[in-house]
């Protein structure tokens, strides 16, 4: 089981503050949602990068140990948050170049959004 660096209550507060317009909570919200992804699908087959805020490995499969992983997803914080909140569709984000995904396992469409708001 992955180890948490961000208390879930603190993460949820950061998400709520960010959604209310407090951009100072971006880093904590991004990192919290990356951690949530690792709890949803633990593993080391895919690396998800949201520079400069963080990177995690997730999804079961072949374990990567050195160099560039074979399955990488890289995107900016704005896109990551929009995907997590269901504000943009995975395929649409990939199509317009907001997500750079390489490798046969680098499709997160079935895992997103991580949070739903009504």
User: Using omega within 30 degrees of 0 as the cis cutoff, is the peptide bond preceding 51 cis?
Assistant: no
Mean pLDDT of 66-86: 92
Our measurement of the distance from residue 4's CA atom to the centroid of its chain's CA atoms, rounded to an integer in Å, reads 15
- Tell me how far apart the alpha carbons of residues 41 and 87 are, in angstroms, rounded to a whole number: 21
- Tell me how far apart the alpha carbons of residues 55 and 32 are, in angstroms, rounded to a whole number: 11
Task: Evaluate if pTM is beyond 0.85.
Answer: yes
Q: What is the pLDDT of residue 64?
A: 59
Looking at the DSSP bridge assignments, the partners of residue 6 are: none
Q: What is the pLDDT of residue 70?
A: 84
Mean pLDDT of 57-63: 84
Whether residue 72 is predicted with pLDDT greater than 80 in this model: the reply is yes
H or E element at residue 83: helix 77-84
């Amino acid at each position: 089981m992955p180890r948490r660096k961000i208390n879930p209550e603190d993460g949820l507060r950061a998400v709520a503050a960010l959604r209310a317009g407090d951009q100072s909570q971006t880093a904590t919200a991004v990192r919290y949602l990356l951690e949530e992804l690792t709890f949803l699908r633990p593993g080391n087959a895919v690396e998800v990068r949201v520079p400069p805020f963080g990177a995690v490995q997730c999804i079961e499969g072949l374990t990567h140990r050195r160099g560039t992983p074979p399955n990488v997803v890289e995107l900016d914080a704005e896109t990551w948050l929009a995907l997590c909140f269901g504000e943009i569709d995975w395929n649409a984000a990939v199509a317009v170049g907001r997500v750079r995904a390489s490798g046969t396992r680098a499709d997160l469409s079935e895992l997103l959004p991580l949070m739903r708001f009504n």
